[in-house]
Amino acid sequence: MKKIIALCLAAMMMVAAFAGCGGSTTTTTSDNGGSDNGNAAVNTDTSKTGFDNVVSDADFGSEKNAKLKVWGPDNYTKLLKKQCDDFKKKYPKQISKIDVVVQTEAEAGTQMLSDAEAAADVFGFANDQLNNLVNAGVLAQVAPKYAADIKATNLKEAVDACTLANPKTKKDTLYALPETGNGYFLVYDKSVISDKDAGSFEKILADCKKAGKQFIMDAGNGYYSCMFLFTGGLKLTGLESDQVTQKFNKYDEKEVVATMKAFSTLMHDYKGTFKSLSVSNIPSGFTSTKTRKSTCGAGIDGNWDTANIKLALGKNFGAAKLPTIKVDGKDKQIYSMYGYKSIAINGASKYPRTSQVLAYYLASEKCQNERCEQLGWSPTNNASVDTDAVKNDVAISALLEQSKYSVAQVNIGKIWDPFGNLGNQLVADGTNPKTYNFKDLFEKTISNVLDQ
């Protein structure tokens, strides 16, 4: 708590120090809902759109020779370094050095809360962490004119995922910039599974077994195992006033329990074919070498692995929304978690203005297009979404289609461990679907979520 208070005070002092510098038309005051760090220095003209039209040298104020640290996941590191180098070349007087450090989006929020002063100036994170980061006051609010452009040029859902009510003013505030859609879908080897069969979980498993291949998903990871509950009708509806306790919809317990049983039955009927493994095993499982044939026929993976899977499968690469599963004889569409990855500015940055501009650049249409083309990441910029490159990309199309059958990854409480444990129980060798008490498992899972 002392560290957070000190951080907020430091941010307030930095805002005050920069408020008198050039390039500002208005000044703002800090509050408990995140730092205004870097905002006061940025011209608030909101009539222009597009990075090159919005940013001017005045946005940097008196900051020169900035040394910044940027966090990004391993598979993005090479491209992120190039993008940071391009930014440095664009503003050679303002930038001295940009260090790109590998840090997964899943852990970025935890590291920020642990020691914001030692953390990156600019970093990517999964948007379910936004609540904690804002409540801790460690994020800089996005500068007004950058926020105006982001809101005007990006998907509303992506902007909403970066927006929270300011704890003090109660006004909706943009605390991050959209980077990419974040979700998972079905990937498959077309030499094993036809496009038609890809629509049915039962047929996918049967085809994999016939070909002697595995179907891989991480059933013990709450991010994926939530589908066992969501498909049955359970939904997350936000957090209680304590901003910790999870709220749920009015679900039909019998339907949820029946769906859990249907998944568990298939897992056991296809024991040896269904493999609960980390998603990292999917790209490698699809890969064939001179000495080893591929072992994977299909799996549930996300757009972060698309490039590697395409490389492994080549012309046999297939992607689609998640399939249906039969529950009590009726086909039910499998539901998933869907969110966004976002880019944020550390409120404790020694170079608040430069960090704002860099984050805005990394969220620009240009950088989103590069991530789409080279990594297969789904863009959120409206112009990028409307391009042929996106429309013709089977993986991005699958991701966007699956987003229609998903629960938003926002306002997430402590669901991950209980949901992950549920998945492990469904697939466990000791679970006999004919006699197992799925109702008891479900009720204990919900109780564990609410009692944390």
CATH superfamily of this structure's domain 2-180+340-391: Periplasmic binding protein-like II (3.40.190.10)
Q: Where are the alpha helices (DSSP H) in 342-432?
A: 352-362, 365-375, 382-385, 388-391, 394-402, 416-427
Return the sign of the alpha-carbon dihedral for residues 296, 302, 308, 313.
Answer: positive
Residue 431 has a pLDDT of 98
Burial of 191 (0-12, 13-18, 19+ CB in 10 A): middle
CA distance 235 to 231: 9
**pLDDT tens figures, 307-337:** 999 999 999 999 999 999 999 999 999 999 9
Residue whose C-alpha is closest to residue 63's, from 83, 80, 40, 86: 40
Distance CA 332, CA 345 (A): 41
Percent over 70 (pLDDT), the chain: 90
Give per-residue pLDDT as tens, 275-302: 999 999 999 999 999 889 999 999 999 9
By percentage, how much of the chain surpasses pLDDT 90? Answer: 81
CA distance 91 to 231: 49
Would you place residue 33 in the very low, low, confident or very high pLDDT band (cuts 50, 70, 90)?
low
DSSP assignment letter at 35: B
pLDDT digits (tens, 9 = 90+) for 96-123: 999 999 999 989 999 999 999 999 999 9
CA distances in angstroms from 149 to 40, 134, 145, 180, listed in the order given: 17, 21, 6, 17
In which residue ranges of the chain is CATH 3.40.190.10 found? Answer: 2-180+340-391, 183-338+401-450
DSSP state of 199: G
Under a CB-based contact definition with an 8 Å cutoff, are residues 63 and 353 in contact?
Answer: yes
Mean pLDDT, rounded, for 33-38: 60
| CATH annotation of 183-338+401-450 | 3.40.190.10
- The whole-chain average pLDDT of the chain stands at 90
What's the pLDDT at 165?
A: 87
pLDDT tens readout for residues 399-426: 999 999 999 998 888 999 999 999 999 9
pLDDT tens-digit map of 57-80:
999 999 999 999 999 999 999 999
Split at pLDDT 50, 70, 90, the class of 349 is very high
